[in-house]
Chain A
Amino acid sequence: MERDPTVCVIGEDVGHYGGSYKVTKGMAEKFGDLRLLDTPIAENSFTGMAIGAAMTGLRPIVEGMNMGFLLLAFNQIANNCGMLHYTSGGQFTIPIVIRGPGGVGKQLGAEHSQRLESYFQSVPGLQMVACSTPYNAKGLMKAAIRSENPVILFEHVLLYNLKERIPDEEYVLCLEEAELVRPGQDITILTYSRMRHHVLQAVKTLVSKGYDPEVIDIRSLKPFDLFAIGNSVKKTHKVLIVEECMRTGGIGASLRAAIMENFFDELDAPIGCLSSQDVPTPYAGPLEDLTVVQPPQIVFAVEQLCKH
């Protein structure tokens, strides 16, 4: 925001309140009320507003207080945001970033545990990335802001408290690149967002049992970094996808199709996919935990796949 005066944030309570997850804390004091714009409660409309502002020279960042609320903005996102650059013959660009906390939290209830990546992945014209660490959050955010395309940046409610040493200086990550988290030989584990951390937990157990998994945080949910993924598959010949979105029509479903289509001959086993069940997220703690993929399940799945 310091570098470019056209960058602004639009959302509910993003101004002096600092945002419901304090992502914009302190910024209204620094940049003013106009650049940290508090909006009335109408997600479809303030997303529409941001689209209009983006078409006419600003670079807005729309915050969904919880990503689930952006379901209200689906019309603007699917019918205008992803579309107007194309239907205008390239005359109007929409360099917008739509972001917010999503995913399954700690007992937030079904309406506040939505995973929207499944629904938006079909919309042409949108790019989708998911951050999972402070390091990639900073780099991906900068890249998303600077991109000329509309980008949806998926943050996770439970990851805001992660602490990590990151460089002070500026760095921009590539929106379309996956991140090799742990090199390995036995199996390729593809994951993103919070599940990256569940996978790494499972990996500790797996390593002690003698396995050598390769972990890739795919980061780019649309388009997939098939180059990095392919190289890994050619090495390990086995794939396990670990995701938090629902099984039906999820990111895993698309990723499986893409891998099978492109790397069928490299596979020694069917592609495994661990996802959340197709149920609204229950409130009760233990029930909620059962709907999300847990490390022991990841360990078991890897063991099964490695038998091939």
Chain B
Amino acid sequence: MYETMAILQTMDNLYYEAQRQGRISFYVTSIGEEAINVASAAALSSDDLIFPQYREQGVLLWRGFTLKDFASQCFANDEDSGKGRQMPVHYGSKKLNYITVSSTVGTQLPHAVGAAYSLKMAKEEACTVAYFGDGGTSEGDFHAAMNFASVLEVPVLFICRNNGWAISTPASDQYRSDGVVVKGQAYGIRSFRVDGNDTLAMYSCVQAARKMAIEESRPILIEALTYRIGHHTTSDDSSKYRSITEMERWKSLRDPVIRFRKWLEGNAWWDEVAERRLRATARNEVITTMVRAEILKKPPLSDLFKDVYDSVPVHLQEQEAYVRSTVTRHPKDHPSDVPL
């Protein structure tokens, strides 16, 4: 778990910088939430279906999405399993049971309930897991999904990453309830509040919740308390609405990765040498995969009109023919890294 958390941090920091350098258009870091991401993923089975919001790349990393896969998606090259169609961090992998990220806030919650219903019908020994933030709990879909899950008695874990901020809106302006955990009670759902920055607590909590959800076919709500150390996304500069001292304090004193590392070192399972080696290797690998991904060709024009439907209908074939005729007429304007 620790190694994954450290690699995640390395990846997040390097991709953030890459965006700042103009190499990718956009990125979302999960700085401060590494424990939630990785510990929860570790406590689940690979059969459990993940319905992410957009700050859960650590879960995907744990499951086996390679650094090359991350790079392909962010640089939208022809190795991207999403075929270059979604913006960076909107990963998806059917193989790893991680449903493609959709930017819309909270819409994945009813999806998770529906998929859990599907699992219940098939009597599978698995659950679905929906992640969302404190802001997401204001969306109508959150309430309806919780209500549905409760009424339908389906095995779904609702994991709220309460990091205190929805872009610039602090939690105190998001709701007036005692956090998110009480909302679960209102819907008749067994709910837990856990220190999201405590890797081991997070792991135990999700492990127990999963068992309950599957054995009793019921939803569970987990409110994991944490802090969004980074900005909302690369389009945000949070120093505009929160104090730098606050951010620094969380970063230096309450960082979940450092906290877990100290515990590991205390048990003599980790040390400075291992740390330096891990960080150097991770940095190297991330940079190598980034540099390689950057120069690969983009997905071809022939993929642009595919997958809108199961087959390309006539009106889309016509539209593709029109685009191709434009390219033929102005070959010099067509980018060289986009095959036809």
Contact = CB atoms under 8 A, between A and B. Distances in A.
Interface in A45-88: 45-58, 60, 75-76, 79-80, 83-88
Interface in A138-172: 147-149
A93 interface: yes
B25 to A, nearest CB: 16
Contacts of A40: 144, 147-148, 151
Interface of B: 49, 51, 80-83, 85-86, 90, 92-94, 99-100, 102, 104, 107-115, 117-122, 128, 140-141, 143-145, 147-148, 151-152, 306-310, 313-315
Contact of A44 (B86, B90, B108, B140): B140
Interface of A: 8, 34-35, 37, 39-40, 42, 44-58, 60, 75-76, 79-80, 83-93, 124-125, 127, 147-149, 176, 223-224, 226
B107 A53 contact: no
Contacts of A93: 310
B121 A58 contact: yes
Given A42-B140, A176-B313, A223-B313, A51 B114 contact: yes
Contacts of A47: 110
A53 B80 contact: no
A127 B311 CA distance: 12
Q: Which of A39, A55, A149 has the largest count of B CB atoms less than 10 A from its CB?
A: A55
B140 to A, nearest CB: 6
A149 B310 contact: yes
A226 B314 contact: yes
Given A45-B140, A223-B314, A88 B111 contact: no
A91 B100 contact: yes
Contact of B104 (A55, A60, A75, A89): A75
Contacts of B144: 40, 42, 44-46
Nearest to A91: B94
Contacts of A57: 118, 122
Given A42-B147, A51-B114, A52-B115, A86 B308 contact: yes
B148 A92 contact: no
A207 B109 CA distance: 57
A127 B140 CA distance: 27
The 4 closest A-B pairs by CB, nearest first: A48-B110, A52-B111, A52-B114, A45-B144
B310 to A, nearest CB: 4
A92 B114 contact: no
A49 B111 contact: yes
Contacts of A226: 314-315
B121 A44 contact: no
Contacts of A39: 148
A48 B109 contact: yes
A293 to B, nearest CB: 26
Given A51-B114, A58-B114, 9 more contacts: A34-B120, A40-B147, A45-B109, A49-B148, A52-B118, A56-B115, A79-B104, A80-B111, A88-B94
A48 B114 contact: yes
Nearest to A48: B110
A6 B37 CA distance: 32
Contact of B118 (A58, A85, A92, A176): A58
Contacts of A54: 114
A150 B172 CA distance: 40
B110 A8 contact: no
A45 B115 contact: no
Given A80-B107, A149-B309, A46 B102 contact: no
A173 B322 CA distance: 31
Contacts of A125: 308-309
B318 to A, nearest CB: 9
Contact of B114 (A50, A88, A89): A50
A42 B51 CA distance: 20
A277 to B, nearest CB: 29
Of B80, B115, B118, chain A has the most CB atoms within 10 Å of the CB of: B118
B245 to A, nearest CB: 39
A78 to B, nearest CB: 10
Contacts of B111: 48-49, 51-52, 55, 80
A85 B307 contact: yes
Contact of B148 (A45, A80, A176): A45
* B82, B100, B119, B313, most chain A CB atoms within 10 A: B100
A87 B148 contact: no
Contact of B113 (A52, A55, A79): A52
Contacts of B308: 85-86, 124-125
B112 A89 contact: no
24 contacts: A40-B147, A40-B151, A42-B147, A42-B148, A48-B110, A50-B114, A51-B114, A52-B110, A53-B115, A56-B115, A56-B128, A58-B114, A58-B117, A76-B107, A79-B102, A79-B104, A79-B107, A85-B309, A86-B85, A88-B92, A91-B100, A92-B100, A223-B315, A224-B315
A76 B106 CA distance: 10
Contacts of B151: 40
Contact of A84 (B100, B120, B143): B100
